[in-house]
Amino acid sequence: MDILEKREKMKKEKNALFKFTLTLPHGLAREAEAKGLLMPQALESLLRAEIRRRRVHRLFNAADQLSAIEFPPMTDAEVEAEIQAARTMRRSLCES
């Protein structure tokens, strides 16, 4: 399989649809249906929003964990050294 065939296969897989059955309590199903929430576009929007919400939640949890770690504060010289090291690394990557 050449590169073009692999790309085409990946495109098809990426755009493939996933079908599932959803079991809900009758009242909830009726209300969701009445509000248009069981339409594919609405379900996609709800799922994307929840995925985004969970990513943000994970990010804030990680930030909380990092803030709980007690690192000694960096001196101005240490901060400057880190900045210079990052700039040097970026330049070397750009020149490669």
Domain presence at residue 6: no
Q: At 75, is the secondary structure helix, strand, or coil? A: coil
Domain presence at residue 11: no
Domain presence at residue 83: yes
Non-local (6+) Cβ contacts of 46 within 8 A are: 37
Domain presence at residue 54: yes
Instruction: Identify whether the C-beta of residue 29 lies closer than 8 Å to the C-beta of residue 38.
Output: yes
Domain presence at residue 12: no
Q: Would you place residue 74 in the very low, low, confident or very high pLDDT band (cuts 50, 70, 90)?
A: very high
Structure tokens at 94: 């750009």
- Number of independent structural domains in the chain: 1
Domain presence at residue 67: yes
Provide the domain limits for residue 36.
Answer: 20-95
User: Per residue in 8-17, pLDDT tens?
Assistant: 777 777 777 7
Domain presence at residue 13: no
User: Per residue in 21-52, pLDDT tens?
Assistant: 999 999 999 999 999 999 999 999 999 999 99
